[in-house]
Structure 1
Amino acid sequence: MAPKVLVSDKLSETAVQIFRDRGIEVDFEPTLGKDKEKLAEVIGKYDGLAIRSATKVTPKILEAATNLKVVGRAGIGTDNVDKVAASKKGVIVMNTPFGNMITTAEHAIAMMFAVARQIPEASESTHAGKWEKSKFMGVELTGKTLGVIGAGNIGGIVCDRARGLKMKVIAFDPFLSEEKAEKMQVEKVELDELLSRADFITLHVPLIDATRNILSRENLEKTKKGVRIINCARGGLVDEEALADLLKSGHVAGAAFDVFAEEPATENPLFGLPNVVCTPHLGAATTEAQENVALQVAEQMADYLLTGAVTNALNMPSVTAEEAKIMGPWLELAEHLGAFVGQMTDEPIKAINITYDGLVADMNLDALGCSAIAGVMKSVNPDVNVVSAPVVAADRGIQISRTTQAKSGVFDAYIKLTVVTENRERSIAGTVFSDGKPRFIQIKGINIDAEVGEHMLYTTNKDVPGIIGTLGQTMGENGVNIANFTLGRATEGGDAIALLYIDAPLPEDVRQKLVGTGLFQNVSPLHFNIG
């Protein structure tokens, strides 16, 4: 029987035809996704679900999706899909991460022009029959300094376009290497320097803990007087109240926003202010981009349903069914190892080396490597998946290497991940026990035996009395429950580490209390995707 796909959002007829041409039965119901009850009622008939952003794939929908094998999102964002529930259900979630990069970058450049020359206000004035030529005095882009926060895929395109406009481009991106910056012909700087030098600032980073409110009131006040700020990335990157105040005071000359902290944005502190250009999240809204992502998702879903090939999956690597039975725990381990070093590294990564020892050296190393690299890169870009991670790493100039070797220790197999930066190397090793659970077995060359939990705390210190007591007492006094506690040391009185598996995220005030004891060189909360 031919697979059956439901298209519940607006996809192009060309994309729908791809399914038909490849022998897949398809129902095109472009408004059905808005009707949750009706979608839940019919979803059980389908093997695939193709969506944009209107359809919400909730646990309730997935529970009713008795035959569903794949959800394909035409676009990059998958906030409308419960990926945890989909994984538990065995449903693959795909997206199209590279279909709208140029469109979004072009929108940022267009917004920069618009705010530089006050085009929307001038247009409105002229439409009203006024001829206020002297009122709208703009500035040129040529020769101005553009500060780009986030020089990844979209930010990199913006850098390239801005250089074509003869702008001086400076970039802040902790994962941008000097070699990559030189190749891009941009100057790599720290955030404070960017704020003080830039005539225009444009943001191109995901919304994660490290970037949330990156343009806070404090940072906005550090900017050059007369700066213009463009945000076509994510709402929540800029303190909108603070920006409004600085626009009113004249410190900030203008702003252009396509995204907002609350969307749909019917009210916002920026609305109604002079020389503020606002658009309703149009970054990916071009005919070409919408067509590209629609065609891509149709091809990807058809490939999977007909041949089992997995492309741009967010919740599984590209492996065969036979491999998955054996490799599942090892793929999970590889991602955990990457996530550990990714969360612990706050400077540009030059290289990633993965060593496969013993039996694991005979597995699908491409899939394992992609999982490990994705773990590293997700710490700065949660949209990265096992397919796009190597591309993202390559774009950042990161050298990837792997080593295989025969069994060399007490374990039948293990994986060791080493990240190299300008100033240091950081390594971690792990294995999978007979119960199928991943374990960390070595950090910084120190042997341990640590179960991996969703929420963990990693500390480094000198091997002195009182560490266990301080950790236990501080956690206990602040209501933090410890599920597992692992210690290790290099030598008596030398470097030592502790890895705690805790039941909930560590509150910042508790972390500060541990730092305040003076006993620890490093106190780092960690998070791992489990299951």
Structure 2
Amino acid sequence: MAPKVLVSDALSETAVQIFRDRGIDVTFEPKLGKDKDRLAEIIGEYDGLAIRSATKVTAKLLENASNLKVVGRAGIGVDNVDLTAASKKGVIVMNTPFGNSITTAEHAISLMMAVARQIPEANASTHAGKWEKSRFMGVELTGKTLGVIGAGNIGSIVIDRALGLRMKVLAYDPYLSEERAVQLGVRKVKLPELLENSDFVTLHVPLTDKTRNILSAENIARLKPGARVINCARGGLVDEQALADALKSGHVAGAAFDVFAEEPATASPLFNLPGVVVTPHLGAATTEAQENVALQVAEQMADYLLTGAVSNALNMPNVTAEEAKVMGPWLKLAEHLGAFAGQMTEEPIVAVNVLYDGAVAEMNTAALNAAAVAGLMQASNPDVNMVSAPVMARERGIDLSTTTQEKTGVFDAYIKITVTTEDRERSIAGTVFSDGKPRFIQIKGINIDAEIGAHMLYTTNQDRAGIIGTLGQTMGENGVNIANFTLGRAERGKDAIALLYLDDQPPPEVLAKLEATGMFQAVRPLRFAM
């Protein structure tokens, strides 16, 4: 019996035809995504669901999706899909991570030009029958300095176009290596230097805990007087009220925004201010981009439903069904090891080595590498998956190497990840016990046996009395329950570590109290996708 796919958003006819040509029974109802009740009634009939942004794949909808195997999102953002619920249901979620890159980059360049020459205001004035030629005095882009925050896939395209406009380009990206910066033709700088020296600043980073309000009131005050700010990335990266105040004071000359902290944006401090250009999240809105992502998602879904091949999956590794039975826990371990290293590393990463010892060396190390790199890169970009992570790592000039060896220690198998930056080297190792649960077994060369949980706390200190009591008392006094507590030390009186598995993420004030004791060299909260 042919697989059945429901297309509930406005994909192109060409994409729908791909399903038909591959022998898949496809139902095309492009307005159905807005009717959640009707969608819930019929979703149980389908093996696949192809969507854009209108359809909301919620836990409630998935309860009715008795036959659903795959959700394909034409585009990169999956905010409208409950990934946790889909994973628990066994439903693969795919996206098309790079289909909108050129379109979004071009929109950023377009907005930069529009705000430089006050095109929207001049257009409205001229349409109104005025001829205010002297009112709209713009600035040239040639010779100006563009500061690019985030030099990944989209940011690198913006850099290429800006260099073509004869602009000077500065780039801030903690994960950008010097080698990659040279390849791009930019000068890598710290954020304060970028802000103080750029005539235009454009953002191209995802919204994470680290990037939220990256242009805070404090950083906006650091901007070069007369600078202009462009945001086509994500709402929430800029303090909109602080930017509005800077525009009113004249410190910032202009701004161009395609994304907002709250969307749909019916109100914003930036609205109706002189020198501000705003668009309704049009970054991916071109005919070419919409067609590209639609065709890609149709091909990906058809491949999976007909052959079992998985590509661009956000919640499943690219391995065969046979491999998955054996490799599942090891893939999760590799991801956790990468996530630990990524959350502990803020400097640009130059190289990553993944060592496989014993039985795991005979497994699909390419898939394990992808899982490890995905965990590593998710610290800076939560949209990364096992397919896009290696590509992103290559774009950032990270050298990924693999070492395999026969069993060398007490464990039948283990994985060790070593991350090298320009200043240091950091390693962490783990294994999978007979119960199928991954464990951390070594950090910084110190042996431990740590169960992994969603919320953890990592501390380093000199081995001394009172560490356990301080950690336990501080957590207890602040209502943070410790599920598991692991200690390790190099030798008596030397370097020591603690890894706490917590029921909840510790609030910032708890971390501040630990740091204030002066007993710890580092206090770092960690999160892991379970």
1:366 equivalent in alignment to 2:397: no
Q: Which residue of 1 aligns with 2:390?
A: 390
Whichever residue aligns with residue 192 of structure 1, its letter is P
Please state whether the residue corresponding to 1:238 is helix, strand or coil.
coil
Q: Which residue of 2 aligns with 1:246?
A: 246
Q: Structure 1 runs of 4+ off > 2 angstroms? A: none
Per-residue CA deviations over 1:126-158 (Å, capped at 9, x if unaligned) read 000000000000000000000000000000000
Q: Which residue of 2 aligns with 1:378?
A: 378
Q: Which residue of 1 aligns with 2:518?
A: 518
Post-superposition offset of 1:220: 0.2
Per-residue CA deviations over 1:316-350 (Å, capped at 9, x if unaligned) read 11111111111110000000000000000000000
Per-residue CA deviations over 1:202-246 (Å, capped at 9, x if unaligned) read 000000000000000000001110000000000000000000001
Q: Which residue of 2 aligns with 1:229?
A: 229
**Aligned equivalents of 2:507 and 2:251: distance in 1?**
35
Whichever residue aligns with residue 2 of structure 1, its letter is A
Q: Which residue of 1 aligns with 2:86?
A: 86
1:314 equivalent in alignment to 2:288: no
Please state whether the residue corresponding to 1:53 is helix, strand or coil.
coil
Please state whether the residue corresponding to 2:453 is helix, strand or coil.
coil
Per-residue CA deviations over 1:174-202 (Å, capped at 9, x if unaligned) read 00000100111000000000010000000
1:133 equivalent in alignment to 2:133: yes
Per-residue CA deviations over 1:351-400 (Å, capped at 9, x if unaligned) read 00000000101111111110000000000011110011100000000000
**Aligned equivalents of 2:509 and 2:165: distance in 1?**
47
Whichever residue aligns with residue 288 of structure 2, its letter is E
Post-superposition offset of 1:506: 1.0
**Aligned equivalents of 1:327 and 1:39: distance in 2?**
35
Q: Which residue of 2 aligns with 1:43?
A: 43
Whichever residue aligns with residue 278 of structure 2, its letter is C
Whichever residue aligns with residue 409 of structure 2, its letter is G
User: Percent of counterpart pairs with the same letter?
Assistant: 78
**Aligned equivalents of 1:426 and 1:505: distance in 2?**
24
Post-superposition offset of 1:12: 0.1
Q: Which residue of 2 aligns with 1:436?
A: 436
**Aligned equivalents of 2:349 and 2:259: distance in 1?**
30
Range moving further from structure 2, 114-123 or 317-326:
317-326
Whichever residue aligns with residue 293 of structure 2, its letter is V
Whichever residue aligns with residue 337 of structure 2, its letter is L
Q: Which residue of 2 aligns with 1:298?
A: 298
Please state whether the residue corresponding to 1:392 is helix, strand or coil.
helix
**Aligned equivalents of 2:369 and 2:472: distance in 1?**
36
Whichever residue aligns with residue 377 of structure 1, its letter is M
Q: Which residue of 2 aligns with 1:490?
A: 490
The two structures, once aligned, show a CA RMSD in angstroms of 0.4
Q: Which residue of 2 aligns with 1:342?
A: 342
Post-superposition offset of 1:466: 0.7
Q: Which residue of 2 aligns with 1:479?
A: 479
Q: Which residue of 2 aligns with 1:163?
A: 163
Taking the TM superposition and a 5 Å limit, the aligned residue runs for 1:7-406 are 7-406=7-406
Whichever residue aligns with residue 223 of structure 2, its letter is T
Whichever residue aligns with residue 400 of structure 1, its letter is L
Unaligned runs of 5+ in 2: none
Q: How many residues align?
A: 530
Q: Which residue of 2 aligns with 1:416?
A: 416
**Aligned equivalents of 1:85 and 1:219: distance in 2?**
38
Unaligned runs of 5+ in 1: none
**Aligned equivalents of 1:295 and 1:320: distance in 2?**
24
Post-superposition offset of 1:108: 0.1
**Aligned equivalents of 2:148 and 2:116: distance in 1?**
16
Whichever residue aligns with residue 444 of structure 1, its letter is K
Whichever residue aligns with residue 239 of structure 1, its letter is D
**Aligned equivalents of 2:117 and 2:36: distance in 1?**
45
Whichever residue aligns with residue 293 of structure 1, its letter is V
**Aligned equivalents of 1:489 and 1:240: distance in 2?**
47
Q: Which residue of 1 aligns with 2:509?
A: 509
